[in-house]
Chain A
Amino acid sequence: MIRINGEDTAADGMKLTEWLSSQGLDEKRVAVMINGSIVTKDSYESTVFQDGDEADIIGFVGGG
């Protein structure tokens, strides 16, 4: 089990990019933190959720 944005989620072993598209999230419009560290954009493809991970997915919308 991993925690994403504070909620337990059965996404162990899932690729970050797969999870983002399963949620309808555009990877160009998010920032991702796993266990307190930011995931760089060029590591999205190779990032796989591991049991016990705590992830924050910050979605951005336009306007400013």
Chain B
Amino acid sequence: MITREQFGEAVDSRSREPIFEKMQKVRVGIAGLGGLGSNIAAALVRSGIGALTLADHDTVELSNINRQLYTPADIGMKKTDAVRKILCGISPCCEIDTHFIRVTAENAVSLFGNCDMIIEAFDGAEDKAMFISTIMSEINDVPVISGSGMAGFGKANDIVTRQIGKRLTVCGDGVTDVADGDGLTAARVMICAGHMASRAVEMILKGEV
């Protein structure tokens, strides 16, 4: 078992400036633990994030394995439990709060109100719009990152990070909808998740959180 100190040294090992202690001070909320949320959580934990608040109401299914962090052994588990198991296997120093619940306009603030940054990682377009509208109006100042448009197998470089106003970042190609029928592929979903996690790390290390 590696210690907190060993993990922190490894996170910082090739960086001029310390990364780990800055990351340790931050709590990130992630709404949805599918292809975006599970992969974003793993990326943040690998970079030494101090605390995560994770919410999802689904269990792991076979149809998730094509793009989500889970393995077939996790099928049938609550995603909150499965992701906790995986994340705790990566880092000994991330406090993980999980909520096995459907996130709604009514409970979003009580779930994520104590987070330093909030990431929208739902699958459904209406859930995305509801969550962004709710969080941005009811929680002040905290940066918000959202993902929209990563379905199919189009060009990787169509997926971009866009800053909208002071608080909101939207990552994705903005147009490819899973309803178009071209499916979801791991690489493209992970690119979008990577954009979102990268923006989170950028803001944390630049002291913008």
Contact = CB atoms under 8 A, between A and B. Distances in A.
Interface of A: 28-33, 36-41, 56, 58-64
Given A33-B165, A40-B137, A61 B125 contact: yes
For chain B, give the interface size range. Answer: 35 or more
Contact of B177 (A32, A40, A56, A61): A61
A59 B130 contact: no
Contact of B137 (A30, A38, A58): A38
Contact of B166 (A36, A58, A60): A36
Kindly name the residue among B164, B166, B179 whose own CB sees the greatest number of chain A CB atoms within 10 A: B164
Looking at chain A's contact residues, the main secondary structure is mixed
Given A37-B137, A58-B146, 20 more contacts: A28-B126, A31-B136, A33-B165, A36-B165, A39-B133, A41-B133, A58-B164, A60-B132, A60-B146, A60-B148, A62-B124, A62-B177, A63-B35, A63-B149, A63-B151, A63-B177, A63-B178, A63-B189, A64-B37, A64-B147
B28 interface: no
Closest 6 CB pairs of A and B: A63-B178, A61-B177, A38-B136, A63-B151, A60-B128, A64-B123
A33 B148 contact: no
Interface stretch (B12-20, B69-77, B167-175): B167-175
A61 B129 contact: no
